[in-house]
Amino acid sequence: MGQGMNATAHPLDPLSFEETGLAAQAVRAHVGEGGRWRFASIELREPAKDVVTGFRPGDSIDRVAHVICWNCVDGKAYRAHVALADAGVTWEELPEGTQPNMTVDEFHDCDRALRNDPRLVEALHARGITDMDLVIVDVWNYGHHLIPEAYRGRRLGWVDLWHRGSPEANPYANPVNGLHGIVDLNAMELLELEDTFVVDAPETMGEYVPKLVPGQELRDDLRALEIVQPEGVSFTLEGNLLRWQNWSLRVGFNYREGLVLHTVGYEDDGRVRAVAHRLSLAEMVVPYRDPSTDHYRRTAFDVGEWGLGFMTVPLELGCDCLGEITYLDAVTHDSQGVARTIKNAICIHEEDNAVLWKHVDPVAGSEVRRMRRFVVSFHAVVANYDYIVYWRFYQDGNIECEVRATGIMVTAKFPVGEPPPYGTQVAEQTYAPTHQHFIVARLDLDVDGEQNTVVATQSEVPPIGPDNPHGLAIVQRATPLRTEEEGKQDYDWNTQRAWKVVNEDVTNGFGMPVGYKLVPSGAFPPMFDPSSPVLERAQVIGHTLWVTPFAQDERWPCGEFPVQAAEDTGLPAWTAANRSIENTDVVLWYVFGLHHVTRPEEWPVMPADVVSFWLKPFGFFDCNPSLDVPPNQPKHGAACH
């Protein structure tokens, strides 16, 4: 593969449809006949940084697929590296008890297996539910600490049941409370049915599709809003290489992080200056903060268990995306290793975003520039929730990562009277539990090169004294973070703490090290008892920021295999060595998201909740880098200035 295969081929291009199939075939050939195999993941084994930086177009590329698979017969899991040029397989058995990520096929197979199980059918009959076609079987993973002794070592699912009001109705409108199954996902067998209680509550109006909402009439006062670019777009896409307004970056994609951005650089004075080697969302931890029977096992790892790439959905022009859109397809696969293409998985476009800069001077008049931003985005649907991820690049050197959460909240019914204290009532005798979405961004910044240091910056108020007689002064304190222990940082509202990634070997025009600042927002504390086993499994959420020295295989902050993991083998394990993070290739792990105290207005479908954080140049340039943005032509008159 790769030998001049394609003029735009690059070592960081995601595995193609053909390569994905080849990798699966090679593994099948290696394991031979027998066994019942599932492929958990097939992705590009990303090349080392020096391979990427040393690559020149036309160079031959050694493409390697990284494959995780397991045999459902004995539960043993394996890692394979497949050299795509000759289908050579390097094979490694993973430690006893390793449970690879969940697959969509297991979700569907579990649904099929359970809806015919007589125990389940009988329990539903007892609740007055007789039409099994209206029942939805949802499967979740659950934490090692909750797994009954008798089932240790098995691959387990915890099953939730939902009931549609009609064949087209919202499956998540009506939970079947007090009824859950424990399933062996390798045998696809119901081990236990936990039939604990019945709530006598009316059906909930949980419909949002207009024809299903009783008496729904749509507003008729919205006029068309078109976004047109009569001269075409201002960006170029060459293979997976994007260029726009001095920015350049490569689009990557895998089963787990979904969209990945590689080699983000900014052209300054004819030279591309590195900003980031790789940007992605590496984990999302979603604990439901309701200890009741129906919810206490809900501690999802949406990235590590299900994969944002596997959950990525195709996008529709004019609906999901508006304007002059360029789409990229993505490739994933099913649990049999059969490649599949997600059409229009990644949306690329530019947007007007009001004013970039402006001043009105009494003599010179008004000088104003429109802000244009460049957006690369994708949508992932994890069962009831929909996540939309936007990476935005701005003309002034800013980068913004925005995540929107929408979709259907998990609910439960309660008996007549007060709702339980762990959520908010959203419909008659129905509440939505409080929960949190902790998103972990993995930010491998390379600011003007790999050797960087992270500096905590905060504003401090000196006491009143001879130098500060009015008590007015604020000074900035910068503290370099030298070890991984020092790199564990928490958001501090009182000092407006932020983190600058600086390159001490490269100075700006004022002799200061060039830097990019991580401006925190959307951060919140974990709010867990320190001894909580839920926190134990996802220690990353205990801090707003972690900093580690780059290591090729340190990718997953809660461990590579969080499914049923007995311990967190990610950040807490890596940082236990307390390595140096000074003047080296650093990786930042930024934790942000939604502390979701549910609202009635978020039912039956949730208007998008929006969180974001920024990376902003701080002394990376010597002045406003967007001075050269040209003015628009006014609709009436001569020019916008």
Give the residue numbers annotated as catalytic, written as ranges. 302, 385
Instruction: List the structure tokens of 63.
Output: 């493409």
**Which two tokens mark 339?**
């490649």
- Report the SS3 class of residue 97: coil
Stretch that binds Cu ion, among 217-225, 227-235, 291-299, 590-598 (CB under 5 A): 590-598
Min dist CB 300 to Cu ion, Å, is 11
CB nearest Cu ion: which residue?
Answer: 596
Instruction: Show the 3-state SS of 288-310.
Output: ECCCCCCCCCCEEEHHHHHCCCC
Question: Counting contacts by CB under 5 A, is residue 38 touching Cu ion?
Answer: no
N residues, the chain: 641
CB of 409 to Cu ion, least distance (A): 6
Q: Which x/- pattern, by CB under 5 A, does the window 549-588 give for Cu ion? A: ----------------------------------------
Cβ proximity to Cu ion: between 151 and 528 the closer is: 528
Secondary structure of 563-580 as H, E, C letters: CCCCCCCCHHHHHCCCCE
Q: Which two tokens stand for residue 32?
A: 């031979």
CA distance 558 to 534: 12
Q: Of 42 and 409, which CB lies nearer to Cu ion in the complex structure?
A: 409
Q: Which stretch binds Cu ion (CB under 5 A): 287-295, 502-510, 572-580, 593-601?
A: 593-601
Q: How far apart are CA 284 and CA 307, in angstroms?
A: 10
How many CB atoms neighbour CB 348 within 10 A? 20
Nearest residue (CB) to Cu ion, 607 versus 634: 607
C-alpha angle with apex 237: 236 to 238, nearest 5 degrees?
115
Tokens 């008049």 identify what position?
Answer: 365
Tell me the window of 210-218, 425-433, 462-470, 589-597 that interacts with Cu ion (CB under 5 A): 589-597
Stretch that binds Cu ion, among 169-177, 333-341, 574-582, 591-599 (CB under 5 A): 591-599
Per CB under 5 A, which region of 252-260, 318-326, 596-604, 615-623 contacts Cu ion?
A: 596-604
Nearest in space to 425 (alpha carbons), one of 208, 210, 180, 204: 204
> Residue 163 or residue 596: which is nearer to Cu ion going by CB?
596
Residue among 44 and 409 whose Cβ is closer to Cu ion: 409
CB of 164 to Cu ion, least distance (A): 22
Question: Whole-number minimum distance, CB 433 to Cu ion, in Å?
Answer: 9
Residue 435 CB, nearest approach to Cu ion (Å): 5
> In whole angstroms, what is the distance from residue 384 CA to residue 375 CA?
25
What would the two tokens of residue 529 be? 């008892």
Shortest Å, Cβ 538 to Cu ion: 16
State which residue, 10 or 596, has the beta carbon closest to Cu ion. Answer: 596
Query: DSSP label at 146?
Result: G
State how far the alpha carbon of 404 is from the alpha carbons of 86, 230, 606, 610, in Å. 43, 30, 11, 5
Of 537, 555, 596, 616, the one binding Cu ion by CB under 5 A: 596
Q: Indicate the residue among 513 and 593 with the shorter CB distance to Cu ion.
A: 593
CB of 605 to Cu ion, least distance (A): 12
- DSSP string covering 569-625: -SHHHHHTT--B-SSEEEEEEEEEEEEE---GGG-SSEEEEEEEEEEEESSSSSS-T
Reduced DSSP (H G I as helix, E B as strand, rest coil) percent helix, strand, coil of the chain, to 5: 10, 40, 45
Of 176-235, which residues contact Cu ion (CB under 5 A)?
none
Element (H, E) at 46: none
- With respect to Cu ion, which residue has the nearer C-beta, 415 or 525? 525
Task: Please report which helix (H) or strand (E) contains residue 108, including its range.
Answer: helix 104-115
Residues 59-98 that bind Cu ion (CB under 5 A): none
Stretch of residues binding Cu ion (CB under 5 A), selected from 79-87, 221-229, 592-600, 627-635: 592-600
User: In the complex, what is the shortest distance from the CB of residue 423 to Cu ion, in angstroms, rounded to a whole number?
Assistant: 11
What 270-275 contacts at long range (C-beta under 8 Å, 24+ apart), as own/partner pairs, is 272/248, 273/448, 273/620, 274/446, 274/447, 274/448, 274/449, 275/399, 275/445, 275/446, 275/447, 275/516, 275/615, 275/620
What minimum distance in Å lies between the beta carbon of 562 and Cu ion?
A: 19
Give exposure, 3-27, as e/b (b: 16+ Cβ within 10 Å). eeeeeebbbbbbbbeebbbbbbebb
Contact stretch for Cu ion (CB under 5 A) within 374-382, 445-453, 537-545, 594-602: 594-602
Can you tell me the distance from the alpha carbon of 631 to that of 181, in angstroms, rounded to the nearest whole number?
A: 63
**Binding residues with Cu ion: total (CB under 5 A):** 1
Query: Which stretches does DSSP call E strand in 185-257?
Result: 189-195, 235-238, 241-244, 247-254
Q: How far is the CB of 107 from Cu ion (least distance, A)?
A: 20
Give, as one character, the DSSP assignment of residue 558: T
Q: Specify the residue, 596 or 616, whose C-beta has the smaller distance to Cu ion.
A: 596
**Tokens matching residue 596:** 């979701």
32/421 with CB nearer Cu ion: 421
Amino acid present at 235: F
User: Where on the chain is the footprint of Cu ion (CB under 5 A)?
Assistant: 596
